[in-house]
Chain A
C-alpha cells in the first residue's frame, strides 16, 4: 500500500470504535497509526503528549522489534508493552500495515486492555480496508 485516504466518515467511525471500546474503559489515549508513523485517528485525551513524535517512534519501535524477532527466529512480536511508574503503553498490530497504541494508568488492568485491543483490531481493520 502506498497511499491511504481517510474520509471524514471513516475517521468518525474509527474514532467511535476507539472511544467505545477503549476510552470508555478508562484508556487515556488511543492512537491508530500507519506503518509510516502517521496518526490516522486518535481518541481520548493526549494530555499534551506530542502524538506526532509518539507515532513516529512507535512505528520505528515496532519495525525494530520485528527485526529482533527475525534475528531470534520468531515470526514477529504482535504486541509490545512498556510499564511505567504511572502510565503504561501498549502497542499492537492491526493487520499488516497499522498499529494501535494505547496509553493507560495502573488503575486499568492490563488484561482488560489486551482483551479490548484484540477485540477492536478486526473491527478497525474492516473499517480501514473498506473503500
Chain B
C-alpha cells in the first residue's frame, strides 16, 4: 500500500522482488545496497536461516529523490523462493505496489520459474490483485553463465515461458556482477511511482526525479 505523507512530504512505495529460490533476488538487493551512497539508502535488513537462504524477507529502503516536491522512498523487499514458504511470500506481498520477477536462466530451473510465476498470480489473487494491473518487470538473471558449459535458457525461451501473454519489459542480468541490476530497478521504480502518482494525486505529467539514488 503506497503511502503519501504530505506532512513529511514523502511518497512510500513497496517493490517486491519475486521468483524461485536461488534466482538471485537477494543478490540484487546486496548489489544495490553496496552501490548506492549511504545518503540515499537505509539499513539492509535480512532475515535468513543458517546457510544464507532468505527465511522471511530482505528489506532495503532507498530514496529516489524528489518529484514535485515529494521525496520518493522505496522499500525493496525480496521473498523466500523455496516452495514451502508460500505463506511467507503472501505476507511479504501485502501492500505491494510493484514487482520484479527474477527468473533463473539455468535450464534446469525452467519449471521452477513457471511455478513461481503461477504462485505469484495465486497470491495476488488472494489480495484481489491482478498481475496484469500492477507495475511489473522481468529480470532474466545469470546471463553470465552463457559462456560456461552449464545449459542455459535463451531469452526467447524465457519470454515464451513467462512473459508471452503479459508483455512486460524485461532485462538480462548478471546480478553478481551488477549487470542489469540498476536497469531493472530504474524501470520498476519509474513504473511504480508513475502508477502510484498517476492514480492518486497528480493526474498529470510526472517529471523526472531530481537527485537521489538513481
Interface residues in chain A, defined as those with a beta carbon under 8 Å from any beta carbon in chain B: 1-8, 10-12, 34-38, 40-41, 50, 52-53, 56-57, 59-60, 63-64, 67, 97
Q: Give chain B residues whose Cβ lies under 8 Å from the Cβ of A34.
A: 1, 3, 95
Q: Give chain B residues whose Cβ lies under 8 Å from the Cβ of A2.
A: 1-2, 95
CB distance from A97 to the nearest CB of B (A): 8
Are B4 and A38 closer than 8 Å at their CB atoms? no
Are B1 and A8 closer than 8 Å at their CB atoms? no
- Residues of B within 8 Å of A, CB-based: how many? 29
Are A64 and B1 closer than 8 Å at their CB atoms? no
In whole angstroms, what is the CA distance A8 to B61 when docked? 23
B interface, over-half SS? mixed
In whole angstroms, what is the CA distance A5 to B70 when docked? 13
Are A63 and B91 closer than 8 Å at their CB atoms? yes
Interface residues in chain B, defined as those with a beta carbon under 8 Å from any beta carbon in chain A: 1-8, 12, 14, 42-43, 45, 56-57, 59, 61, 75, 87-88, 91-92, 94-96, 196, 199-201
Query: Which residue of the partner chain, among A11, A50, A56, A63, contacts B75 with CB atoms under 8 Å?
Result: A56
Give 4 closest A-B pairs by Cβ, nearest first: A36-B95, A11-B7, A63-B91, A38-B3
Q: Give chain B residues whose Cβ lies under 8 Å from the Cβ of A60.
A: 56-57, 91-92
- Contacts A3-B196, A6-B3, A50-B42 supplied; 15 other A-B pairs, CB < 8 Å: A3-B199, A5-B6, A6-B4, A7-B6, A11-B5, A11-B6, A35-B1, A35-B95, A36-B95, A40-B5, A56-B45, A56-B59, A56-B75, A64-B88, A67-B87
In whole angstroms, what is the CA distance A97 to B95 when docked? 10
Q: Give chain B residues whose Cβ lies under 8 Å from the Cβ of A41.
A: 7
